[in-house]
């Protein structure tokens, strides 16, 4: 599975678990540390913890193992580093505060066909 397929799989897992505002951004042309960012919001610290656990479980089933995890639910932001893919699960408040999409606004945003 290539990095784009993994990023899309992560978005699908997040969608199934009711994450909000899921975005995949190709940053490979602008970044040396990763190819994709996956961003998703949760309504509470409890939900972002559950979402990060679901990502870990879902990708592990595909033999994709997280390299490191930064942040805690109490911080409102959990960052999961899968090498070429960085997954950010944030509370809605933290997502608005840091506005990651604006920082990477000149990159390609993938069209996601996520079913509800």
CATH code: domain 3-109 is 3.30.460.10
pLDDT at 116 over 70: no
Give the side-chain half-sphere CA count within 13 A for 27: 24
75-96, pLDDT tens digit by residue? 999 999 999 999 999 999 999 9
pLDDT at 16 over 70: yes
Give the residue extent of every domain in the chain: 3-109
Percent of the residues in the chain that have a pLDDT greater than 90, as a whole number: 83
* pLDDT, average across residues 50-77: 95
pLDDT at 63 over 90: yes
Q: Whole-number mean pLDDT of the chain?
A: 93
Residue 31 pLDDT level (bands cut at 50, 70, 90): confident
d(CA 61, CA 103): 32
CB 56 within 8 A of CB 66: yes
pLDDT at 113 over 90: no
d(CA 101, CA 109): 9
37-48, pLDDT tens digit by residue? 999 999 999 999
Of the two residues 105 and 6, the one the predictor is more confident about is 6
Report the pLDDT value the prediction gives residue 50, as an integer from 0 to 100: 96
SS (H, E, C) the chain: CCHHHHHHHHHHHHHHCCCEEEEEEECCCCCCCCCEEEEEEECCHHHHHHHHHHHHHHHHCCCCCCCEEECCHHHCEEEEECCCEEEEEEEHHHHHHHCHHHHCCCCEECCCCCCC
């Amino acid at each position: 599975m290539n990095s784009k397929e993994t990023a899309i799989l992560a978005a699908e897992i997040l969608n199934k678990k009711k994450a909000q505002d899921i975005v995949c951004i190709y940053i490979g042309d602008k970044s040396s540390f990763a190819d994709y960012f996956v961003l998703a919001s949760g309504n509470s610290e409890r939900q972002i913890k559950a979402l990060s656990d679901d990502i870990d479980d879902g990708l592990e089933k595909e033999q994709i193992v997280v390299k490191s995890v930064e942040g805690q639910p109490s911080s409102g932001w959990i960052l999961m580093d899968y090498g070429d893919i960085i997954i950010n699960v944030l509370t809605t408040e933290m997502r608005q505060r840091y506005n990651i999409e604006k920082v990477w606004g000149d990159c390609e945003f993938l069209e996601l066909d996520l079913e509800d």
